[in-house]
Amino acid sequence: DAKTTQPTSMDCAEGRAANLPCNHSTISGNEYVYWYRQIHSQGPQYIIHGLKNNETNEMASLIITEDRKSSTLILPHATLRDTAVYYCIVRVGITGGGNKLTFGTGTQLKVEL
């Protein structure tokens, strides 16, 4: 699975958009980009995933560059409850290939008043 690079930490004001970047310059054509987050002392929570098109769900938007070498997770209106470590993961999406996720160090997002 491709290696990802994320900033160690970021701050965001409550109510503003939080934009979390991720570099995955060695991503292969069949690898998906996934985002999970982990709120302190809880298990990771799935947020969103995509292959090459931008994706949006009730939690966030995922913007993937045209060359797929980087992506940005957008939380449109961050709240204090969004304070968490955000993990960007890339992995092959092959049926039957297993559910092994390789977590990096992630970005600690702190949302403040």
Partner 1 sequence: KAGVTQTPRYLIKTRGQQVTLSCSPISGHRSVSWYQQTPGQGLQFLFEYFSETQRNKGNFPGRFSGRQFSNSRSEMNVSTLELGDSALYLCASSLAPATNTGELFFGEGSRLTVL
- Residues near partner 1, by CB under 8 A: 32, 34, 36, 42-46, 49, 87, 91-106
- Nearest-approach distance from CB 59 to partner 1, in angstroms: 12
The nearest distance, CB 104 to partner 1, in angstroms, is 7
Nearer to partner 1, 21 or 104 (CB): 104
Distance, in Å, from the CA atom of 46 to the CA atom of 38, rounded to the nearest integer, reads 9
Structure tokens at 64: 């993937």
Cα–Cα distance, 23 to 13 (Å, whole number): 24
Which residue is it, tokens 């797929």?
68
Identify which of residues 67 and 98 has a Cβ nearer to partner 1 in the complex: 98
- Smallest distance, partner 1 to C-beta of residue 91, A: 7
Do strands 55-56 and 70-75 pair parallel, antiparallel, or not at all (unpaired)? unpaired
Q: What is the DSSP string of 82-97?
A: G-EEEEEEEEE--TTS
- Name which of 42 and 113 has its Cβ closer to partner 1: 42
> Minimal distance in Å, beta carbon 23 to partner 1?
18
Q: Which is nearer to partner 1, 26 or 103 (CB)?
A: 103
Q: How far apart are CA 80 and CA 37, in angstroms?
A: 14
